[in-house]
Structure 1
Amino acid sequence: MRIRVVSSREEIFTLNPNERVVHLAFRPSNKDILGLVETCPKLEVIQLPKSYMATVSKSIEMFLEMQRIQLIEGDVWGHRKDINEYYTIPSSVTEKIREMRIEGKSKEDIEARISRENKLNPELVAYIIAKEASI
């Protein structure tokens, strides 16, 4: 799974319209988020660092909810945008999720363990679990 890392407002309008998961590495305005949704009609998740989550307006949160776009808190640990514009979640993470589901582990147990071991936000892990279940 790949997360497109966007580090500036100007970058929003150059994105591939097929992007599904985007991490905004800057403090977005309402206009930025609306532009992102318009540019990427298949968008499913917008990830923001914890410090930026508090500045997102309630109206944008409601808009994203109506569009069925998840707004989640999280970071892309150790990612260098100058090397690659995508942060890739290792396939070993999805394999481990599959193994744990086969073992009968609860969704909460999977989220806790995977997020702890891989420095991923539990909300992002929940999204990955949901995507895996739909495949």
Structure 2
Amino acid sequence: MKIRVVSKRDEIQNLDTGEKVIHLAFRPSNEDIFNLIKRCKNVEVIQIPTSYRRTVSKSIEMFLDMQKIKLVEGDVWGHRKDINEYYSISPAIIEKIKDMKSEGIADDDIAAKLSREGKLNKEMLLYILGKS
């Protein structure tokens, strides 16, 4: 699984229209989020850093909720945008998720355990759990 990292608002207009998971590494305005949704019609998750999450308006939260788009907090630790525009979720994490699910462990417990071990936050892990 890959997360498309967008570090500047100017990059929104050049995104692949099929992007599903996007990390905004800048403080997005309402207009930025509308432009993102207009450009990427299949987007399922928008991740923004915790410090920026508090500045997102209630109207945008409601709009995203109506569009069935999750807004999650988090970072892409150690990612270098100059090397790759995508942050890849480690196959080892995906494998651990599958193993733990097959053992019958609850999604919340899996997300809590892996968020401590890995570099992903619980909300993103719950999204991945829902997809696998």
Smaller-chain TM-score range?
over 0.9
Corresponding residue of 1:79? 79
Give the distance between the partners of 1:108 and 1:34, measured in 2 at CA: 31
> 1:105 aligned to 2:105?
yes
Taking every aligned residue pair, what percent have the same amino acid on both sides?
61
Aligned positions of 1:1-135 closer than 5 A: 1-132=1-132
| Alpha-carbon distance in 2 for matches of 1:67, 1:122 | 22
CA separation in 2, counterparts of 1:74 and 1:18? 22
Once residues 106 and 64 of structure 2 are traced to their aligned partners in structure 1, the CA distance between those partners, rounded to angstroms, is 28
User: C-alpha distance in 1, partners of 2:19/2:108?
Assistant: 27
For normalisation by structure 1, the TM-score amounts to: 0.97
How many pairs does the alignment contain? 132
Separation in structure 2 between the aligned mates of residue 119 and residue 20 of structure 1, nearest angstrom:
20
SS of equivalent to 1:110: helix
Displacement of 1:91 in angstroms is 1.0
- SS of 1:87 mapped into structure 2: strand
Write the distance in 2 (CA, Å) between the matches of 1:38 and 1:86: 20
User: Please, which runs of 5 or more residues in structure 2 have no aligned partner?
Assistant: none
Displacement after TM superposition at 1:108 (Å) = 1.5
Cα deviations across residues 63-114 of structure 1 (Å, max 9, x unaligned)? 0000000000000000000000000001111110010011111111101111
Query: What secondary structure sits across from 1:115 in the alignment?
Result: helix
Q: TM-score, normalised by structure 2?
A: 0.99
Report how far residue 25 of structure 1 moved.
0.4
Deviation at 1:30, TM superposition (A): 0.1
Q: Secondary structure at the match of 1:55?
A: coil
Q: CA RMSD in A?
A: 0.5
* Alpha-carbon distance between aligned partners in 1 of 2:59 and 2:21, rounded to the nearest angstrom: 21
Once superposed, which parts of structure 1, at least 4 consecutive aligned residues long, lie more than 4 Å away? none
Q: Aligned partners of 2:36 and 2:47: how far apart in 1?
A: 12
Q: Distance in 1 between the 2:15 and 2:130 partners? A: 25
Deviations 1:4-42 (A, max 9, x none): 000111100100000000000000000000000000000
